Amino acid sequence: MSVRVQDLTRTFRKGKGWRPKGDQVTALDGLTLHVPEHEVHGLLGPNGAGKTTLCKILSTILLPTSGTAEVLGHDVVSGAAEIRRHVGIVFGGERGLYGKLTARQTLRYWAALHLLPDARAKERTDALLTRLGLADKADDLVETFSRGMKQRVHLARGLIGDPKLILFDEPTTGMDPVAARDFRELITELRDEGRTILITTHDMDEAEEVCDRVTLIDNGRVLATETPRGLAEMSGLHRWVEAETTLDVTGIPGVVGTETRNGLLRVKTTDDRAARAVLDFLLDNGVRSVHAVPPRLEDVYLDLIGRRGMEV
């Protein structure tokens, strides 16, 4: 097991001073999570759900308030030094980078902090710069890079210590679609190399595409852990039927609602039987472009987390 978290709680105190005595805020509330080796595991949840706090505890940046967390068999408190040798963290966005260093200098600095001997540091730096397509820009300042290139520097930095577990904290934030696609391919490669990957994201398509399993977190608690498809199927959510038609299907039993987008009719039904009835009706009326759609991860997310809009 790469990650074993049991009844993990993390609280924070508001206020100032060496020991703040203000209101207590609970970020993780008895969270339990198991991630086996070689799995790509997604952590999904709204802002403030506790995803980043969990990542910080697993990477030994934060201490837990209660409960236990083990990474690669080591406790995050008593075995922190051992964990740090085998865990890489990758942030999204601008944080965590030195704009005034080149990509090569950035990696050399972090290689030293990962205790790589000089020769190994040079070798690993060159290999990662090449692997991530940064070799031509290796001696350019990071501040001159595009968002996608900065993200690749983040990735290279996270991989410098050859980690067994990689924690990605919203890694595709601000990436263009091409860079995001490349990133997803890299995740698959890393998993195939035998690494375990824990990734926090708001991008449901990304989670659906790259994650073996996902965990939905809200208010510091686990709502569900399953494969993306399994989560959708066990959710009992509405089935959708999509068809290129203008026919009226609202009278069919089990139809909850309809919407039309770009000439595509989407019919929301209560269950598989109602979806079948809609399909039969449309086919009987000569509609040929028609198919049933299982609920997507995004639908499950919205159903379980709630449609909060901007609320956090």
| Residues lying near another protein in the complex (CB under 8 A) | 10, 12-13, 18, 20, 27, 53, 56, 59-63, 81, 84-85, 87, 89, 91, 95-98, 100-101, 105, 108-110, 112-115, 118, 141, 157, 161
CB closer to another protein out of 109 and 298: 109
* Inter-residue contact 214 to 39 (CB < 8 Å): no
In whole angstroms, the minimum distance from the beta carbon of 252 to another protein comes to 51
In whole angstroms, the minimum distance from the beta carbon of 112 to another protein comes to 3
CB closer to another protein out of 46 and 161: 161
CB closer to another protein out of 98 and 258: 98
Q: How far is CA 82 from the centre of its chain?
A: 25
CB atoms within 10 A of CB 16: 8
* Inter-residue contact 200 to 40 (CB < 8 Å): no
Strand partners, 25: 12
Q: What angle do CA 151, 153, 159 make, to 5 degrees?
A: 105
In whole angstroms, the minimum distance from the beta carbon of 84 to another protein comes to 4
CB atoms within 10 A of CB 311: 9
| List of residues 6+ apart from 66 with CB closer than 8 A | 7, 8, 9
In whole angstroms, the minimum distance from the beta carbon of 267 to another protein comes to 44
CB closer to another protein out of 22 and 236: 22
CB closer to another protein out of 53 and 245: 53
The side-by-side arrangement of strands in the sheet containing 24-35 is: 24-35, 3-13, 66-71, 74-75
CB closer to another protein out of 101 and 252: 101
In whole angstroms, the minimum distance from the beta carbon of 24 to another protein comes to 12
In whole angstroms, the minimum distance from the beta carbon of 2 to another protein comes to 16
